[in-house]
Amino acid sequence: MTRPSPVTLPERHPLRTTHGLRCSAAAALLWCSAGAWAAPDIVEPAADVVAAPERKLDAVEVHGRHYDNGVGSTDAASQGRIRAELLKSRPALRPGEVLEFVPGLIVTQHSGDGKANQYFLRGFNLDHGTDFATTLDGVPVNIPSNAHGQGYADLNFLIPELVDRIDYRKGPYFAPNGNFAAAGSADMVYRRALDAPFVAVTLGEGAYRRGVVAGSTELSGSLQLLGAAELMRNDGPWSVPEGLDRRNLLLTLSNTRGVDRWQLSLIDYRAHWTSTDQVPQRLIDAGTWQGRPFDRFDAIDPTDGGRTRRTSLSGEWSRDVDGAHSRVAAYAMAYELSLFSNFTYAMERPVTGDQFSQRDDRKVYGLSASHAREHSIGELPARSEVGLQVRQDRADVGLFQTQQRAVIETTRDDRIRETLLSLYGQTSVELAPWARTVVGVRADQGRFHVTHIAGNGDSGRARQTLASPKFSLVLGPWARTELFLNAGRGFHSNDARGVTAAVDPAPGLVKAKGYELGLRSEWLPGLQSSLALWKLDFDSELVYVGDAGATEANRPSKRRGIEWNNRYVPLPWLLVDADFAWTHARFADADPAGNRIPNAVDKVASVGVTLRDLGPWSAGINWRYLGSGALIEDNSERSHSSLTANLRVSRRFGPKTELTLDVFNLFDRKVNDIEYLYESQLPGEATPVMDRHLHPAEPRTLRVTLRRSF
């Protein structure tokens, strides 16, 4: 939500060192981190690449079920992999919350649950995904020039039970990652086969009902067919029932054996809902409105809400032979969004109210290809990779004034054709048994073509090219500890309607520069710990605000921070996670208004304790802390911090049946998912009022799931 902003291998394999503890840097990107275009479950490294024959097995090896983040497995301290075993241990209130397993990332919601989540990472209010790139099986989730928000990343089509792993990276240091990946990225990979078909039924408070059925079969030889279907409905705790109706279908055909491997996937998702948008603090304090009681879970405009649909067909082929790896992937997607919102109530149109509609109807086409080969530079083992990425969006995008979801006026309506063409190359070199380096560069060209149809706006064309160098240096391991130095340039694209504006056009590709100094250690048996000191600067830019249909000035920014992540396995059945992040976020220029960045959260933390396989029982509890942030540039108003806990307890009844209880907001704390400071005017008020507007976190909520395998 942007409108109310106050500023609106074998022993001598080249991929291991002589110590046998790590992949080379390029292999870490290609294998260990499974980059944006990686073919899932196709090129897993052999076990002896990850762990040396002489390495003593201890409690830290249990991480293999949850993480692939050990010493020697990544190119940065803030890079890693999360396995399905960990995803099973904690509940997720919404599908997008699986991303909270990424250390330092917080996922909230400021409106209805059918809408994309709000993301917080490294001092960014990422809105709905502007600087955090996400993919599922190589298909991008972020939508550029979206009707509601730039880089809009709606993850509600995700089926968490099918996620095999999440590969995450933070910072602009990785050549295969481009648009929207300046703060970070996460590539999610679905399973290709299931151990057994299953049915899961979940019932919960707020009329929550969900059913999932999934199964796989081997057709012939190496061919695997996987299918899944999900139905969900939820009213939530809101006084206006949310009526969220979500339907999801998945079909995947794959060949996962041999030299040539491939997969084809079809996903169809659709949802509709009524949303309770954020409400003003003054009404909550008053306790009444228009002669009736009013509380945190009430709504001003009961007709807000939306509907969406996403259908994608994707394919991927890869080949590994003689130290070379080739990959080609393609996708086509049809996407629709119709969103009705009212954040200012009756400030702009006292008679009809301020509700507006954002509509997006688009087709997306993409292609990527990469080739990597092992070689030598002199006597030094090396690996080089080159890649091509192309994406084109053809969209009809509109902004309309509405009353009770009926259009009364067109603000603007446009036809957009946006193309991003990218080339990248990188080479990793093992300089010594204790030193490796990665040098890379990517070139991106954005092409923007807008045809204005109705309302206010401009037609136009624009083009911009940007080169982004990357560099990583990894030293060690010494005493099971390694050091990282990372630097690179990243970017995000701006909305095509702002880029092609006749007056004050926004830059098409907005540069970011990032640096990181990191450490990862396993010196204490059972403990895996990483520390990262980072810095990220963004150039001055103009931003297109989809909620207002206009460009708005923004200032250059600078952020720096510290992240400390820990995974401790003191016993084979006990896992403790503890992640802490502190950020200093400021505007980089001088302005009398102040230098604080609104909604930049200063501190984030999470602590989780997981108990596995205690007879038929398993349990996990995790605490999540979202710190305070400035709501206005002079820091005179700040958001409230929040601390919540979620609990999961599971019991198996034989090998095929499991019953799980999830308790969200265990201690029923009265906290907020999001807070904004802006002007609004309620019906009956004489003038606009500057006030806090908030969307409350849900109260304590119970859900019970029965899962049966066959």
What are the tens digits of pLDDT across the range 347-375?
999 999 999 999 999 999 999 999 999 99
* 3 inside domain: no
Evaluate the omega torsion of the peptide bond into residue 507 and state whether it is cis, within 30 degrees of 0.
no
DSSP assignment of 189-221 equals EE-S--SS-EEEEEEETTTEEEEEEEEEEEEET
Please give the pLDDT value at position 71.
Answer: 80
Give residues with Cβ within 8 angstroms of 182, minimum separation 6: 131, 171, 172, 490, 491, 492, 512, 514, 536, 538
Helix (H) or strand (E) holding 50: helix 47-50
Burial class for 32, CB neighbours closer than 10 Å (0-12, 13-18, 19+): buried
DSSP letter (8 states) at residue 498: H
Distance separating alpha carbons of residues 710 and 694, to the nearest angstrom: 45
The token pair at 487 is 């630097």
Stretch among 349-358, 538-547, 568-577 having the lowest mean pLDDT: 538-547
**436 closest CA partner among 53, 22, 55:** 22
Distance from C-alpha of 552 to C-alpha of 565, rounded to nearest angstrom: 37
Residue range 661-674: mean pLDDT, rounded: 97
Amino acid at 193: A
The DSSP secondary-structure symbol of 179 reads T
Q: What are phi and psi of 284, to 5 degrees?
A: -65, -40
Contact 111, 94 (CB under 8 A): no
Query: Residue 30's pLDDT is what?
Result: 28
Tokens of 34: 């499974």
- Cα separation, 222 vs 234, in Å, equals 40
Statement: residue 59 has pLDDT above 50:
no
Q: How far apart are CA 431 and CA 111, in angstroms?
A: 51
The answer to whether residue 26 scores a pLDDT higher than 80 is no
Averaged pLDDT, 459-469: 97
Is the pLDDT at 192 greater than 70, yes or no? Answer: yes
DSSP string, 122-159: TTEE-TTTTTEEEEETTEE--BTT-SS-TTB---TT--
Torsion angle in degrees (nearest 10) through CA of 120, 126, 128, 134 = -80
Q: β-strand 184-190 against 132-136: which pairing, if any?
A: parallel
Domain that holds residue 599: 25-709
pLDDT at 542: 67
Would you say residue 7 lies in a domain? no
Select the more confidently predicted residue: 344 or 49. 344
The residue-averaged pLDDT of 443-463 equals 96
**Residue 14 above 70 pLDDT?**
no
Lowest mean pLDDT among 169-178, 293-302, 399-408, 544-553: 544-553
> How far is the C-alpha of 293 from the C-alpha of 284, rounded, in Å?
9
Q: Is residue 8 part of a domain?
A: no
Whether residue 36 has pLDDT greater than 90? no
pLDDT at position 19: 29
What is the model's pLDDT at position 254? 96
User: Would the pLDDT of 57 be above 60?
Assistant: no
Is residue 13 included in any domain, yes or no?
no
Q: Output the domain CATH number for residue 677.
A: 2.40.170.20
pLDDT at residue 66 in the model: 53
Residue 277 lies in a domain: yes
Count how many domains the chain has: 1
Which position has the token pair 């119970």? 702
| Whole-number Å distance between alpha carbons of 522 and 528 | 5
On whether residue 498 sits in a domain, the answer given is yes
Q: What is the pLDDT of residue 288?
A: 95
Q: Tokens representing 566?
A: 């820990």
Mean pLDDT of 89-94: 91
Beta carbons within 10 angstroms of residue 96's beta carbon: 26
Angle at 627 between CA 300 and CA 118, to 5 degrees: 50
The predicted structure's pLDDT at residue 67: 54
Q: What pLDDT digit, counting tens, does each position of 616-660 carry?
A: 999 999 999 999 999 999 999 999 999 999 999 999 999 999 999
Whether pTM > 0.75 for this model: the answer is: yes
- From edge to edge, which strands make up the β-sheet containing 279-280? 279-280, 689-696, 672-680
Residue 4 domain-assigned (yes or no): no
Cβ neighbours of residue 72 closer than 8 Å, sequence gap 6 or more:
17, 21, 22, 23, 50, 477, 482
Length of the chain: 710
What are the residues whose beta carbons fall under 8 Å from the beta carbon of 509, sequence distance 6 or more?
444, 446, 464, 465, 466, 491, 492, 493, 494
Residue 57 CB neighbour total at 10 angstroms: 8
pLDDT tops 90 at residue 300: yes
Beta-bridge partners for 518: 484, 532
Look at residue 532 and tell me if it is in a domain.
yes
3-state secondary structure 540-578: CEEEEECCCCEEEEECCEEEEEEEEEEEEEEECCEEEEE
Question: Which parts of 256-355 are beta strand (E)?
Answer: 260-274, 279-280, 288-289, 292-293, 305-321, 324-341
Other Cβ atoms less than 10 A from the Cβ of 591: the count is 11
Place of tokens 């792993």: 165
Name the 3-class secondary structure at 62. Answer: helix
Alpha helices for 440-549 (secondary structure H): 496-499
